[in-house]
């Protein structure tokens, strides 16, 4: 039996690695994205993974998108809430738009995506929800009050929902990546990356998207059935909770 997995933001960066790793592990995978059609179509052509476009910050768009995925592939059994954005600014310069966009995608997006699949998972007595949070939600990061708040919120959401899902066969876990070499991180000026960020990482390098993807494949598996409400910190030793 091959299970159905949906990965938000699954066409680029960490999400793309997760989509591919789940496919290689035998899942039927759908990858959602927001607007970068060119990248998504190239990903679909290269991997054979179906891509679906909607904005995770919009509840109705999520409900409609999920219905479309389920009509194409079957009931969603594994949901990976990976889509995320940054709108960095020091707090005194942060606009309400920068705050609301990041909270809307990175935190409310988890409600919008999880709520429409939750009842089906309860009815079928099986589900895996895997939320991609961040080291900066664990420790806070200057210039990212919006992002740190959203990602810390993701961890609270994970722990609360884990308690609700446990008796229904649904596990809910989070992964907190440290700095991973994706476009989001490569957008940081090279000088800052080499002189300020990499020296803070004890293993001496950025993480690879595939290193996060392998954590997801494990949490999605039957082997991880006793793990719920947990956070995997995958950060090269940069921060211990
Ligand atoms: P990227 O910027 O490389 O990719 C982001 C993906 O999310 C894209 O597929 C994008 O779609 C999609 N996306 C963005 N906004 C929305 C939205 N509103 N609705 C649907 N899809 C959306 O990000 P990363 O791979 O770097 O990050 C993935 C996750 O990991 C994020 O949650 C991020 O916060 C987290 N993370 C990343 C770290 C890193 O070092 N890179 C460290 C810690 C956490 P499109 O292509 O259409 O724009």
List the domain boundaries for the chain: 4-229
Concatenated DSSP letters for 25-71?
Answer: TT-EEEEEESS-HHHHHHHHHHH--EEEE--TT-HHHHHHHHHHHHH
CA of 141 to the centre of ligand 1 (A): 18
Q: How far apart are CA 34 and CA 44, in angstroms?
A: 14
Q: How far apart are CA 228 and CA 120, in angstroms?
A: 19
Q: What is the pLDDT of residue 187?
A: 85
Plot region of 167 (φ>0 → left; ψ -120 to 50 → alpha; else → beta): alpha
Q: Could you identify the residue written with the tokens 């809307």?
A: 104
Predicted model pTM: 0.98
Residue 135 is classified by DSSP as: H
Is residue 59 annotated as a catalytic residue, yes or no?
no
Question: Which ranges of the chain have pLDDT less than 50?
Answer: none
Q: What is the chain's length? A: 241
- The model's pLDDT over 91-141, given as tens digits with 9 standing for 90+, comes to 999 999 999 999 999 999 999 999 999 999 999 999 999 999 999 999 999
Residue list, ligand 1 pocket, CB within 6 Å: 8-9, 11-15, 32-36, 39, 55-57, 82-85, 105, 132, 134, 177, 179-180, 182-185
Element of type H or E holding 92: none
**CA of 121: how far to CAs of 86, 179, 219, in Å?**
31, 32, 16
Q: What is the pLDDT of residue 183?
A: 86
Vertex 176 angle, CA 173 and 182, to 5°: 125
Q: How far apart are CA 114 and CA 154, in angstroms?
A: 12
Q: Which CATH superfamily is domain 4-229 in?
A: NAD(P)-binding Rossmann-like Domain (3.40.50.720)
Q: What is the pLDDT of residue 1?
A: 62
């Amino acid at each position: 039996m091959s299970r159905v997995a949906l990965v938000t933001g699954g066409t680029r960066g960490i999400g793309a690695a997760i989509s591919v790793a789940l496919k290689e592990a035998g899942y039927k995978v759908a990858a959602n994205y927001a607007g970068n059609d060119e990248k998504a179509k190239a990903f679909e052509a290269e991997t054979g993974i179906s891509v679906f476009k909607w904005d995770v910050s919009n509840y109705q768009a999520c409900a409609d998108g999920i219905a479309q995925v389920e009509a194409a592939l079957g009931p969603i059994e594994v949901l990976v809430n990976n889509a995320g954005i940054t709108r960095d600014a020091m707090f005194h310069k942060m606009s309400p738009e920068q705050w609301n966009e990041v909270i809307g995608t990175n935190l409310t997006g988890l409600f919008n995506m999880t709520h429409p699949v939750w009842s089906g998972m309860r009815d079928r007595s099986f589900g895996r929800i895997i939320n991609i949070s961040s080291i900066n939600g664990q420790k806070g990061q200057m210039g990212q009050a919006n992002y740190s708040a959203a990602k810390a919120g993701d961890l609270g959401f994970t722990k609360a929902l884990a308690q609700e899902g446990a008796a229904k066969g649904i596990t809910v876990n989070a992964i907190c990546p440290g700095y991973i070499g994706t476009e989001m991180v490569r957008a940081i000026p090279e000088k800052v990356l080499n002189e300020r960020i990499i020296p803070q990482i004890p293993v001496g390098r950025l993480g690879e998207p595939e290193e996060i993807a392998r954590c997801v494949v494990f949490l999605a598996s039957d082997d991880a059935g006793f793990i719920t409400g947990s956070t995997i910190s995958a950060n090269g030793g940069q921060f211990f909770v």
